[in-house]
Amino acid sequence: MPTPRLLISAAAAATAVAALVVSPATAQAADPLDYVALGDSAAAGPLIPNQNPNLPCLRSTNNWANVTARALGARLTDVSCSGATTGDMAGRQFGYNAPQYDALKPDTDLVTITIGANDLSLGTFVPGCWRTPPPFGISCKSVAYAAAGGKDPFIAKIATMRSSVATVLDTIETKSPDAEVIVVGYGKYYRKGGCYWTDPVWPEDADYIQSVFTRLNETLRDLAAERGLDYVDSEALFAGHDICAPASQRWMEGLVPTTIAAPYHANRAGHDGTAAALLGLVG
């Protein structure tokens, strides 16, 4: 398996995005890569035009897997799906979607995966942190700690999630033993202190939310390193492009998106930036 390499910097990614040409001229027509994209909404690109006909998955034809595949001239099987958990790798999401593992073949050349946030229920936790201006009310961090008996509730959740993701990565390597596997982390959501009037989350809660995503990303990075897999450090890649960035520089959307994308998800620019990072690793 490839040696772990740290992704390119945000500045280099921006340059690579600008230079990214998605055209037939880049295709490896003689022997195209068989590429399988797995994961949740961070990979799927919910609401970004254009959406795949499998509407419950909210999967964009311009997510980073598709942009990467077009640049490589690869044959892409994208089964990423919004709301997916590690359990949906082997189970039927929504009761009818085939297990994501089914896309993996012995001759698969490239696999990318982003998974874990929904195992932590972050998709419901973050919206639960919307607040009226402080000091009215109580922070969602305080509520979470109180519900967990004064302890950080995500410590145990991340430990369980780590075991589940480890099983997923081991299964991928078993099903597609010759594939280059790249684990893609979650982007940066908030800079220190957040930006209350841009996004209705108190400063201490913005810091707490970001700390949970940071721990999630560190877990994914470590799991990849243990297996000799490449890892895209999306948190570093999105630095300066978080929810609090000016609209023209934003790669991660907040409660009220500035482009066509789902709240608290990467927009098209974020997917293009991630694709540029992936193209720097594939090979």
pLDDT tens per residue across span 129-163: 999 998 889 999 999 999 999 999 999 999 999 99
Give catalytic status of residue 80 as yes or no: no
The residue-averaged pLDDT of 31-41 equals 97
The residue-averaged pLDDT of 13-33 equals 53
pLDDT at 34: 98
Tell me the C-alpha to C-alpha distance, in Å, between residue 32 and each of 20, 29, 73, 185, 282: 18, 6, 6, 26, 13
The residue-averaged pLDDT of 251-274 equals 98
Mean pLDDT, the chain, as a whole number? 91
Q: Catalytic residue among 41, 80, 176, 234, which?
A: 41
Would you kindly state where each structural domain of the chain is located, as residue ranges? 10-279
pLDDT at 23: 44
Which tokens hold the place of 209? 């939310």
User: Residue 136 has what DSSP assignment?
Assistant: S
Taken as a whole, the chain contains a residue count of: 283
**pTM of this structure:** 0.89
Q: Catalytic residue among 60, 80, 234, 265, which?
A: 265
The residue-averaged pLDDT of 39-68 equals 97
pLDDT at 4: 39
Burial class (CB in 10 A: 0-12, 13-18, 19+), 142: middle
User: Residue 243 has what DSSP assignment?
Assistant: T
pLDDT at 30: 63
The residue-averaged pLDDT of 120-130 equals 96
User: Residue 130 has what DSSP assignment?
Assistant: B
Give catalytic status of residue 241 as yes or no: no
CATH architecture of the region 10-279: 3-Layer(aba) Sandwich (3.40)
pLDDT in tens, 189-227: 999 999 999 999 999 999 999 999 999 999 999 999 999
Q: What is the number of other CB atoms lying within 10 angstroms of the CB of residue 119?
A: 20
User: Residue 98 has what DSSP assignment?
Assistant: P
pLDDT at 182: 98
Confidence of residue 14 (pLDDT cuts 50, 70, 90): very low
